[in-house]
Amino acid sequence: MRFRRPLLAQVLLFVGLLGAFGFERYRYALHFQEIAGVCVLMLFVWLALSTKVKRGKSWIIYVPALLIAVLVFLYAYVFYMRTGASLMPSILAQRERVFFLLAPVVYMLHIRGWRLADFERIFVFAALLAVADFAAAYVTVDAKSWYNSSDFYKRSMVTFDEWRGYRLKGPKFIAVLVALYFGRKALQARTLSSFVLAIVVTAVPVVLLILTFSRSTVLAALLALTIYGLFLWRAGNLSPSLIVLATLVPIVIFVLPTLASAFAITFAQDWSYTVRVEEVEKAWDTFLEYPLLGLGEASEHSVSFRDIFGTKFSPTDIGLLGVALQYGIVGLLLYLFFGLWIFVSFLKLLMKYRGQIEPRQSAFLWILLTMCFAYLIVSPLQRPFIEIPDLAVVAFSWGLLMAHKHGLRGGLGVNRTGLQSPTPLHSRAKPVAYSGQSRPRR
């Protein structure tokens, strides 16, 4: 019996995505994220040991896993050298990097016969449940008591400032993803009932984004949509769009000092802004001290960044400078290269499949592209390419890229036998009968 979309693989991938997207993060005693990481690791090992790939293609499976392992051990060792802290806590503090294995997992599942529609179904359902869990927590959790709790984990789930009050942290970009997906689905609806349902589902993450005052998240998504709409969606190739975008760079650099001055005057009394200014100063001084590899990966169970820089310090709050602080110039260059590469590659993928797939799958690819672009835009303020849940979205997108480029003949729309599907990428065509000399070689 042929191995095609087994239930166990679906369950493991679904649980892995759920945990990565932040499902049950507010019930931390369940350790659902750790369970999800184990599921992803189990699925990777199982598929790596049992999936037959073409000769010379096994590097696609093992190189991402090896690269992540090397970086985890390297930056744990760097932190040990800088501070003398224990090595193992710093290694365990990077356990969320296991979600990078979603990339080779997606590739191997494609080799097993999965199509774009199979990936879309599980991905969207997991994102929808994660947003629903976030909405339920926002209603039931007492954010003020959590913020003032002696439990560090509870405090870390809530943020506070004078004018926005107590706000529960959540998967904001996943909320944007769900809003875009179902918002576009509403525009494509053919019946009134499906239109109303899509609008209702879209409204939930939109309300959450409003309640959490997700300024940088929403602004990055809007900028990604605007730039894509103005420059990229009609591009047959990347050259004209990249030329136009390149002309914007010196303009932005020229007006940046003026904008920064105006921003400082406007937000001088904003608690979160003043805290970040202090964090930037501390991070910059430390980066100048360790420019090549940075400070390394800290751990709450040995020596944390709060122990070194103060109780309000977190490298995740200062974006690219936080990357440079922890991982140095080497890590910063890897971060920027990976972000730019995955955006440009995914744009090419979307262009290739445009007009060849049904609107639903096209919308799914478009939303993943928008997320990768938004992550790139927001990187000066956040670190989505290395922080969950956005890390899982990027790894999943990377897996689709590898499946398209190195997978079965015909890209994401071929069946398990490797024969070119006579119908578009989303279809489930019946096997084609062959006879005589026309039968392909095995």
Is 432 part of any domain? no
Please report the pLDDT score of residue 239 as a whole number. Answer: 45
Q: Which long-range contacts (CB under 8 A, 24 or more apart) does 65-69 make?
A: 65/100, 65/101, 65/104, 68/97, 68/98, 68/100, 68/101
Structure tokens given for 56? 């010379």
CA 299 to chain centre: 22
69, 201: one domain:
yes
The pLDDT tens digits of the residues spanning 43-93 come to 999 999 998 888 778 888 999 899 999 999 999 999 999 998 899 999 998
196, 66: one domain:
yes
Q: Which tops the pLDDT comparison, 233 or 19?
A: 19
The Cα-based distances of 128 to 14, 181, 209, 415, 435 in angstroms read 12, 10, 15, 28, 46
252, 310: one domain:
no
355, 366: one domain:
yes
292, 411: one domain:
yes
The pLDDT tens digits of the residues spanning 245-294 come to 444 444 444 444 544 554 454 444 454 556 677 788 888 888 999 999 99
Hey, how many other C-beta atoms are within 10 angstroms of the C-beta on 238?
14
The pLDDT tens digits of the residues spanning 397-427 come to 999 999 988 877 656 754 333 333 333 334 4
Q: What is the CA radius of gyration of the chain?
A: 23
226, 255: one domain:
no
Structure tokens given for 434? 């062959």
Is 442 part of any domain? no
Please report the pLDDT score of residue 413 as a whole number. Answer: 56
Residue 308 has pLDDT above 80, yes or no: yes
Is 430 part of any domain? no
263, 344: one domain:
no
- Amino acid 189 reads A
Is 436 part of any domain? no
76, 146: one domain:
yes
Q: Please count the structural domains in the chain.
A: 2
Domain extent, residue 96, equals 7-234+270-425
Three-state secondary structure call for residue 160: strand
196, 294: one domain:
yes
Calculate ∠ Cα 391-182-110, nearest 5°.
50
Q: Which tops the pLDDT comparison, 167 or 128?
A: 128
197, 208: one domain:
yes
- Amino acid 406 reads H
Residue 3 has pLDDT above 50, yes or no: no
Is 435 part of any domain? no
248, 283: one domain:
no
Residue where one domain finishes, among candidates 219, 247, 269: 269
Task: State the DSSP H helix or E strand holding residue 159, giving kind and residue range, or none if neither.
Answer: strand 158-161
Closest-CA residue to 54 (of 110, 6, 14, 99)? 110
How far is the C-alpha of 413 from the C-alpha of 403, rounded, in Å? 10
Is 437 part of any domain? no
Do the Cβ atoms of 380 and 319 come closer than 8 Å?
Answer: yes
Residue where one domain finishes, among candidates 269, 290, 313: 269
Average pLDDT, the chain: 80
Please report the pLDDT score of residue 355 as a whole number. Answer: 67
Phi, psi of 161 (to 5 degrees): -150, 170
Residues with Cβ within 8 Å of residue 379, at least 6 apart in sequence: 319, 320, 335, 336, 339, 385
Residue 438 has pLDDT above 60, yes or no: no
Do the Cβ atoms of 184 and 197 come closer than 8 Å?
Answer: no
Please report, in angstroms and rounded to a whole number, the separation of the first and last CA atoms in the chain.
17
The pLDDT tens digits of the residues spanning 119-161 come to 999 999 999 999 999 999 988 988 888 888 888 788 888 888 7
The pLDDT tens digits of the residues spanning 108-129 come to 999 988 988 899 999 999 999 9
Hey, how many other C-beta atoms are within 10 angstroms of the C-beta on 294?
27
Is 439 part of any domain? no
Residue 102 has pLDDT above 90, yes or no: yes
Q: How confident is the model at residue 437 (pLDDT cuts 50, 70, 90)?
A: very low
Closest-CA residue to 405 (of 147, 75, 54)? 54
Q: How confident is the model at residue 380 (pLDDT cuts 50, 70, 90)?
A: confident
Residues with Cβ within 8 Å of residue 383, at least 6 apart in sequence: 315, 316, 319, 320, 322, 323, 335
CA 260 to chain centre: 28
The pLDDT tens digits of the residues spanning 311-368 come to 778 888 888 889 999 999 999 999 999 999 999 899 888 888 776 767 778 889 989 9
365, 351: one domain:
yes
173-201 mean pLDDT: 90
Residues forming beta bridges with residue 160, ordered by sequence position: 166
Evaluated on CA atoms 16, 398, 408, 56, the torsion sign reads negative
Is 79 part of any domain? yes
Residue appearing with tokens 């499946």: 403
